[in-house]
């Protein structure tokens, strides 16, 4: 792995690379504000399959600069950041793989700069935040109506540090985020409080993980998906809070798309369904890169 120093205007971005000289693959992390180690760590071995795998900590999190400027936490600025990374890498055309928020950002990037993207993997993501919010609500109801009511009350009161709320959130994480008893080190590294970008996360998503109240709350690009005419792979999982039915709806709106659903998996199938996820994603990338 090579550590990169990238720039966005006056700000420094921390990047990571494996397989320089291969077919360009940009891996975009989620959050907003969750460092890239959890998703880069799961895909960096694609370098051995002929890909130049690059990821970076988006501005405001991880090893990148963390400016105290709320005006930076807007979708359009993040799109400009992705394009700045592409330019510094010297890439004209590349494959884009985005997980969670990274998939949403990837949708926005494709709508603005489709000419630069050879193929797109929308990894356990969404094209509509209102639909995603309904998925959150369904997951909370799955813990029982009393628990869902308690979580809503704690969030309204601002008492989310109460043990009963923390216990419910932990159960949701192990049921819907990552269905593994022991989480891999790259995931634990990304989840450490000192790495999380609270600025972008709070501004765009809100203070509570399972209740979006930030500036992404009304974001919806479902009607624009037919404009993304490049080969696209949509991945989703049986237990993901980004519900499979919404992934299917994205697939139906994307003219050159494939859909893969991973059973007994959560939001990170590249870890808890690795034996099925990587053959599917690598197969898609290789086909459209001319490696198969």
CATH of the domain at 217: 3.40.50.1820
Residue 57 near residue 14 (C-beta atoms within 8 A): yes
Catalytic residue among 29, 253, 267, 288: 267
Q: What is the model's pLDDT at position 211?
A: 76
Q: What is the model's pLDDT at position 209?
A: 74
* Rg (the chain; Cα; Å): 18
Catalytic residue among 52, 57, 240, 272: 240
Q: What digits encode the pLDDT tens for the residues 12-36?
A: 999 999 999 999 999 999 999 999 9
Q: Mark whether 224 is an active-site residue.
A: no
Which pair of structure tokens corresponds to residue 20?
Answer: 């320089």
Residue 50 near residue 24 (C-beta atoms within 8 A): no
Q: What digits encode the pLDDT tens for the residues 234-291?
A: 999 999 999 999 999 999 999 999 999 999 999 999 999 999 999 999 999 999 998 7
Distance (Å, whole) CA 112 – CA 117 = 11
**In the predicted model, what is the mean pLDDT of the chain?**
96
Q: CA of 90: how far to CAs of 13, 84, 268, in Å?
A: 16, 10, 30
Range 54-61 average pLDDT = 99
Looking from the CA of 155 toward its CB, the CA atoms found within 13 Å total 17
Domains of the chain: total: 1
pLDDT grade for 292, boundaries at 50, 70 and 90: low
Range 54-79 average pLDDT = 98
**Domain span at residue 179?**
2-289
Range 211-222 average pLDDT = 92
Q: Mark whether 45 is an active-site residue.
A: no
* Cα angle value 244/197/44 (rounded, 5°): 60
Q: What is the model's pLDDT at position 38?
A: 98
Distance (Å, whole) CA 275 – CA 268 = 13
Catalytic residue among 18, 37, 100, 237: 100
Q: Mark whether 257 is an active-site residue.
A: no
At 230, which helix (H) or strand (E)? none
């Amino acid at each position: 792995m090579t550590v990169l120093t990238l720039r966005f205007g006056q700000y420094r971005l921390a990047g990571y690379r494996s397989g320089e000289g291969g077919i360009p693959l940009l891996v975009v992390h989620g959050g907003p504000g969750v460092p890239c180690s959890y998703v880069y760590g799961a895909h960096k071995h694609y370098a051995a399959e002929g890909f130049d795998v690059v990821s970076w900590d988006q501005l405001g999190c991880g090893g990148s600069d963390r400016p105290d400027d709320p005006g930076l936490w807007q979708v359009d600025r993040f799109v400009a950041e992705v394009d700045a990374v592409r330019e510094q890498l010297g890439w004209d055309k590349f494959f884009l793989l985005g997980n969670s928020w990274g998939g949403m950002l990837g949708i926005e990037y494709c709508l603005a700069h489709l000419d630069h993207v050879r193929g797109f993997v929308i990894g356990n993501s969404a094209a509509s935040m209102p639909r995603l919010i309904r998925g959150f609500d369904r997951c909370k109801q799955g813990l029982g109506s009393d628990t869902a009511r308690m979580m809503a009350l704690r969030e309204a009161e601002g008492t989310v540090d109460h043990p009963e709320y923390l216990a419910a959130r932990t159960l949701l994480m192990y049921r819907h985020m990552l269905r593994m008893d022991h989480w891999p080190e790259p995931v634990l590294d990304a989840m450490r409080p000192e790495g999380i970008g609270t600025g972008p996360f709070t501004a765009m998503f809100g203070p509570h993980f399972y209740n979006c109240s930030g500036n992404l709350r009304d974001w919806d690009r479902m009607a624009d998906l037919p404009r993304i005419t490049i080969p696209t792979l949509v991945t989703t999982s049986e237990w993901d809070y980004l519900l499979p039915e919404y992934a299917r709806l994205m697939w139906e709106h994307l003219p050159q798309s494939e859909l893969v659903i991973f059973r007994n998996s959560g939001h990170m199938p590249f870890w808890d369904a690795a034996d099925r996820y990587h053959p599917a994603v690598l197969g898609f990338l290789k086909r459209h890169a001319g490696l198969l």
